[in-house]
């Protein structure tokens, strides 16, 4: 063994590393995310979700019937991206998903059904298609279905991020369901119209006090905005806001609702931060890092960090996308960067079509 080899062995034994040997890994020219662009089809998901309903009863220890999306580029990490967990949750009539709380933050966006609820710290949030319900960190939450139909919703959580930060805490509630001690939809009563807030209420922590963003006002806002000019990269895209700050819903999660108008194609850009998109209505396609993803209602796809992406609605149809983003983290840490696609009028050449 020569001197150098002996030296490096000695470093290893002492739990040391020579920066000059690893600096290319530590400081790549730009982010090299391992998460890949991917898409899951509704037609594949729905039968699996239903089979889960037949096979897996809810109980303590199996508190949530959720199929989680695993990014194929990160097979050992429970997440759709490196920071975001996404899953389809299924709740049958008269079932209760027992109450608990955790330090990771959660959002739910209702895909199917009407008349289930999530109680968040005693505030009963009634859920219908298109509603967005928040479970801020460390709030008690149980889900119940008082309707005669199964409910399906998208869960978005910052589980992989909080796990990596080694800051995950969890606690079960002593009973299955919380008592509802306030008027049903109390946060909607106080903040639901969006343009006014009670003068005496102070913001408690960096979380939105509005827990249920109902579909009707969301759609109205989108339709109003759609009559004028919009973003060249996202078309008519709106972020759900914390009424105290105008900022993101929570420090780790931002949510968007987005209309791609009939026959419209956006330009490509990329930015730090990853996102999960649910196709709420319509049909269209996205090109992500040169690969085309054709999507329709109920499909879910992932845009990893620093990936070029552009969206288009299908000919003759508009599309509505709901999305969950980790960009508030990037913003807060001074790591947000954005770049427009420089060539071909802002459109990527398509080299592959996603088959799945």
Q: Tell me, residue by residue from 21 to 60, as one string, x for binding to ligand GTQ by CB under 6 A and - for no binding.
A: ----------------------------------------
Residue 157 makes contact with ligand GTQ by CB under 6 A: yes
Residue 163 makes contact with ligand GTQ by CB under 6 A: no
Shortest distance (Å) from residue 106 CB to ligand GTQ:
6
User: CA nearest 283: which of 311, 237, 319?
Assistant: 319
Q: From the CB of residue 28, how many other CB atoms can be counted at a distance below 10 Å? A: 9
Residue 64 makes contact with ligand GTQ by CB under 6 A: yes
Q: Is 290 exposed, middle or buried (0-12, 13-18, 19+ CB in 10 A)?
A: middle
Residue 92 makes contact with ligand GTQ by CB under 6 A: no
Q: Which is nearer to ligand GTQ, 87 or 282 (CB)?
A: 87
Residue 155 makes contact with ligand GTQ by CB under 6 A: yes
Q: What is the spatial distance between Cα 255 and Cα 107, in angstroms, rounded to a whole number?
A: 9
Total number of residues that touch ligand GTQ (CB under 6 A): 9
By CB under 6 A, the residues from 198 to 227 that bind ligand GTQ are none
SS3 label, residue 182: coil
Strands 291-296 and 275-288: antiparallel
Q: Which is nearer to ligand GTQ, 39 or 106 (CB)?
A: 106
Can you tell me which of 79, 87, 137, 248 binds ligand GTQ, judged by CB under 6 A? 87
Can you tell me which of 65, 82, 124, 141 binds ligand GTQ, judged by CB under 6 A? 141
Residues 277/344, Cβ–Cβ less than 8 Å:
no
Shortest distance (Å) from residue 121 CB to ligand GTQ:
13
Q: Which is nearer to ligand GTQ, 121 or 294 (CB)?
A: 121
Shortest distance (Å) from residue 45 CB to ligand GTQ:
14
User: CA nearest 310: which of 344, 356, 282, 355?
Assistant: 344
C-alpha triplet 295, 269, 84: angle, nearest 5°: 60
Q: Which is nearer to ligand GTQ, 128 or 296 (CB)?
A: 128
Residues 132/154, Cβ–Cβ less than 8 Å:
no
Residue 66 makes contact with ligand GTQ by CB under 6 A: yes
Shortest distance (Å) from residue 89 CB to ligand GTQ:
6
Shortest distance (Å) from residue 352 CB to ligand GTQ:
31
Q: What is the spatial distance between Cα 144 and Cα 62, in angstroms, rounded to a whole number?
A: 15
Residues 280/241, Cβ–Cβ less than 8 Å:
no
Q: From the CB of residue 316, how many other CB atoms can be counted at a distance below 10 Å? A: 8
Q: What is the spatial distance between Cα 66 and Cα 162, in angstroms, rounded to a whole number?
A: 19
Shortest distance (Å) from residue 99 CB to ligand GTQ:
9
Shortest distance (Å) from residue 65 CB to ligand GTQ:
9
Task: Phi first, then psi: give them for residue 238, nearest 5 degrees.
Answer: -125, 140
User: CA nearest 307: which of 276, 350, 266, 272?
Assistant: 272
Residues 302/32, Cβ–Cβ less than 8 Å:
no
Q: Which is nearer to ligand GTQ, 135 or 274 (CB)?
A: 135
C-alpha triplet 300, 325, 138: angle, nearest 5°: 105
Residue nearest to ligand GTQ (CB): 155
Quickly tell me which residue has 């690969």 as its tokens: 291
Q: Which is nearer to ligand GTQ, 102 or 214 (CB)?
A: 102
Q: Which is nearer to ligand GTQ, 141 or 270 (CB)?
A: 141
Q: Which is nearer to ligand GTQ, 132 or 319 (CB)?
A: 132
Residue 160 makes contact with ligand GTQ by CB under 6 A: no
Positions in the binding site for ligand GTQ (CB under 6 A): 64, 66, 87, 89, 102, 106, 141, 155, 157
């Amino acid at each position: 063994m020569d001197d150098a080899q002996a030296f490096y062995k000695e470093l290893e034994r002492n739990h040391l590393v020579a920066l000059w040997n690893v600096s290319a890994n530590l400081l790549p020219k730009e982010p090299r995310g391992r998460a890949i662009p991917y898409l899951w089809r509704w037609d594949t998901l729905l039968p699996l979700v239903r089979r889960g309903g037949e096979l897996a009863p809810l109980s303590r220890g199996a508190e949530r019937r959720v199929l989680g999306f695993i990014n194929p580029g990160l097979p050992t990490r429970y997440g759709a991206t490196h920071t975001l967990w996404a899953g389809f949750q299924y709740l049958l009539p008269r079932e209760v998903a027992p109450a608990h709380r955790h330090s990771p933050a959660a959002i739910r966006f209702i895909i199917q059904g009407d008349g289930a609820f999530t109680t968040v710290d005693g505030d009963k949030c009634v859920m219908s298609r298109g509603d967005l319900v928040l479970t801020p960190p460390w709030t008690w939450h149980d889900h119940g279905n008082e309707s005669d139909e199964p409910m399906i919703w998208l869960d978005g959580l910052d589980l992989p991020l909080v796990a990596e930060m080694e800051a995950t805490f969890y606690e079960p509630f002593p009973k299955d369901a919380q008592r509802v001690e306030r008027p049903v939809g109390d946060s909607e009563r106080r903040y639901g119209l969006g343009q006014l807030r009670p003068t005496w209420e102070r913001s408690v922590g960096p979380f939105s006090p509005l827990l249920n963003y109902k579909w009707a006002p969301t759609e109205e806002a989108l339709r109003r905005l759609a009559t004028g000019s919009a973003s060249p990269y996202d078309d008519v895209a709106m972020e759900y806001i914390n009424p105290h700050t105008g900022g993101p819903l929570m420090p780790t999660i931002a949510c968007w609702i987005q209309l791609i108008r009939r026959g419209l194609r956006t330009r490509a850009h990329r930015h730090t931060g990853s996102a999960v998109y649910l196709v709420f209505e319509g049909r269209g396609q996205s090109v992500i890092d040169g690969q085309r993803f054709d999507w329709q209602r109920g499909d879910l796809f992932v845009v990893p960090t620093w990936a070029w992406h552009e969206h288009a609605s299908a000919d003759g149809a508009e599309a509505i996308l709901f999305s969950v983003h980790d960009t508030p983290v990037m913003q807060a840490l001074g790591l947000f960067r954005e770049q427009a696609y420089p060539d071909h009028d802002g459109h990527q050449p398509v080299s592959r079509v996603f088959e799945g």
